[in-house]
Structure 1
Amino acid sequence: MTAEIHGASDADALAGRFAQLFGALAGNIERVIRGKRENVELALLCLLSEGHLLLEDVPGVGKTTLARTLAASVDARWTRIQFTPDLLPSDVTGVSIFNQSNNRFEFHPGPIFANIVVADEINRGSPKTQSALLEVMEERRVTVDGQPHLVPRPFMVIATQNPVDMDGTYPLPEAQLDRFLMKISMGYPDHASEVAVLAGTPTGPLIDQLPKVAGGADIKNMIDFAGRIHVAPPLYDYLVQVVAMTRGHPDIRLGASPRASLALLRAVRVRAAAAGRSFAVPEDVKGLAAHVIAHRLMLTPEAELRGRTATDLVAEALSQVPVPQSTGV
């Protein structure tokens, strides 16, 4: 893909090649994650949007497996951090240690310095340790003892968490939730998929044996190409109107931030490229709005008592904002 991304001039041909590699990555992940095509594609959209993914669900439905399988499908460095109540911020970011041989402090990077970081059960870590991720998730760097250290590109945090009403969990603060491009739920597999999982055990493909479908350079080139996907001015306006609807709604006490608008735009471009198009359309916004926006919203207590959900309110915003016409090229 590297040569074609740089050598070809036809945007449609490049989009077609993008879609082929995207499909190959999704198919490789589906060798392990059965019956969850939408979740697999959303995880890939996050990676290629240079965003972060939060997977929330009950134990045992494949959250960590999805994260590991995505990391195993890409020829890039990945690490796993198991969050526990006694985990310290320095265990994540790294620490400066004094070297007696040269009388200098030397920085020893932590596991956050990888292309894909699996933060397992993130809400079992203390709020102090969770906060250690705030800078790196937004700025792609870690500051230790006043010195900034850049993480490699691409960089993605895939965090898993159990529902906040389970024992031993700490709710993620709003500032941290806002740094995740998407939050998705795995859900239970359907009957046929669960039977296939049982039938394939233990002879089915193991994560460590999966082939590397894309290299680090391929991922970088796909990210760069997605950033050039055409977005017409009416579509910018449509996207902002959808996000703005969450800020003045009487059932919402904290609406989506401008970071949400930027995140949705990046994801929309990747979705268009994954569909083999060199331009975005309103359906791209509609298909991703709930995944990108809902987890950033805080509802009023009255709305929660009435059974309203953030996903319902995003759907309401989409239904009220007029859809622009002629947004292609």
Structure 2
Amino acid sequence: MTTTSALPGSHPAEPLPLPPQELPAALDRLRSTADALAAAVDGVIQGKDETVRLALTVLFAEGHLLVEDVPGVGKTMLAKSLARAVQGTVRRIQFTPDLLPSDVTGSSVWNQERAAFEFRPGAVFANVVIGDEINRASPKTQSALLECMEEGQVTVDGTTWQLDRPFIVFATQNPVEMDGTYPLPEAQRDRFMARVSMGYPSAAAELTMLSEHGATAPLEAVEPVVDVAEVRELSGAVRGVHAADALKQYVVDLVRRTRTHPDLRLGASPRAALHLLRAARSRAALQGRDHVLPDDVQALAVPVVAHRLLLTADALLAGRDGADVVTDVLRTTALPSPR
């Protein structure tokens, strides 16, 4: 029999949508908070405004972010600076081949004084979890995050423990072809709301980095901008952003077209549609709007959907990737008709 528990001080409840009359003021606070968070991160990561904005979109949409690129371009620095700017509990998990699932979720330990087993929480019990180089751990250990990321809970020895909210995983990974890495399981990739690649900085940004990072440690200067209680409240404002029925149908049409695309052997899941709409609501809110536009969906379709797709062997040989397929689908799917 499975029982459900919460650690002392946790807040397992999900944020509720704000009443319509409170939404305008909350959206104003959301924009100002996001601007402050972006400014804090920009002091560490130069020249990556779009990447930072996407990370904030995922944060307030209550999703998880996968940052993928070659070593040394600032993946972990992005995750750490965002974590420092949000005042809450932060844990970092360095994924290595010898990492065990119990290191992530926790385990039951025998307490001799009480003559009973007691639960010792793992590193996943935090508001912000930084999973560094997640694809260096074995698939078994990677799978320890599946329940955490989807349901906000951990089940150990028949007892389910609720995680605190907000609960956000910022994971980094090197490309699969790098030595010593394992491909993420399809179920794991599908739980990340979005994937983003850092890319190399511009020449000007790299020169600034040499000047600033050589004399000081910019990460140490990052101060908390928002606490987890406010993130929870502002996430409720995002849930209150209006999405018309025609726009929801547009999201469904986009996702369903991936399932019949000739270049794919696995299209996007229903979870992808949910994540795309939630991210679109967050993007609209960050821009101060109380309604979602098709532009929001189109801007987020590649980072939200592309990493979930599995291409056929012929498509891979032709040099195509998930982003190419999503671009095709966007081009061939009719926009929702305005009322």
Distance change >3 Å, CA 128–CA 241, structure 1 → 2: same
Indicate the residue corresponding to 1:176 in structure 2: 188
Aligned equivalents of 2:20, 2:336: Cα separation in 1? 31
Partner letter of residue 67 of structure 2? Answer: L
Aligned equivalents of 1:205, 1:288: Cα separation in 2? 33
Indicate the residue corresponding to 1:126 in structure 2: 138
8 Å Cα contact 2:281-2:292 kept in structure 1? yes
Does 1:143 find its partner at 2:155?
Answer: yes
**Shift, 1:205, TM fit:** 5.4
Distance change >3 Å, CA 204–CA 37, structure 1 → 2: farther
User: Residue 326 of structure 2: SS of its match in structure 1?
Assistant: helix
Q: Which runs of 5+ in 2 are unaligned?
A: 1-16
List per-residue Cα deviations over 1:104-159 (Å, max 9, x = no partner).
Answer: 11000011000000010111111111111111111111111011011110001111
Indicate the residue corresponding to 1:241 in structure 2: 253
List per-residue Cα deviations over 1:233-264 (Å, max 9, x = no partner).
Answer: 11000111011110011111100000000011
TM-score, length-scaled by structure 2: 0.92
**Shift, 1:199, TM fit:** 1.2
| Runs of 4+ with >6 A deviation | 5-8
User: Residue 104 of structure 2: SS of its match in structure 1?
Assistant: helix
Does 1:42 find its partner at 2:68?
Answer: no
Distance change >3 Å, CA 7–CA 282, structure 1 → 2: closer
Indicate the residue corresponding to 1:104 in structure 2: 116
1:78 to 90, 94, 119: 90
Indicate the residue corresponding to 2:222 in structure 1: 210
Q: Which runs of 5+ in 1 are unaligned?
A: none
Between 1:156-165 and 1:10-19, the stretch displaced more is 10-19
Indicate the residue corresponding to 2:14 in structure 1: none
Q: CA RMSD in A?
A: 1.5
User: Residue 183 of structure 1: SS of its match in structure 2?
Assistant: strand
User: Residue 132 of structure 1: SS of its match in structure 2?
Assistant: helix
2:267 to 246, 255, 273: 255
Aligned equivalents of 1:7, 1:179: Cα separation in 2? 29
**Shift, 1:308, TM fit:** 1.7
Partner letter of residue 318 of structure 2? Answer: R
Aligned equivalents of 2:264, 2:64: Cα separation in 1? 24
TM-score, length-scaled by structure 1: 0.95
Does 1:320 find its partner at 2:336?
Answer: no
**Shift, 1:196, TM fit:** 0.7
Aligned equivalents of 2:107, 2:249: Cα separation in 1? 45
Partner letter of residue 113 of structure 2? Answer: S
User: Residue 213 of structure 2: SS of its match in structure 1?
Assistant: coil
Aligned equivalents of 1:242, 1:296: Cα separation in 2? 14
Indicate the residue corresponding to 2:304 in structure 1: 292
1:310 to 318, 322, 327: 322
User: Residue 200 of structure 1: SS of its match in structure 2?
Assistant: helix
**Shift, 1:206, TM fit:** 2.6
Indicate the residue corresponding to 1:68 in structure 2: 80
8 Å Cα contact 1:49-1:270 kept in structure 2? yes
How high is the sequence identity, in percent, across the aligned residues?
52
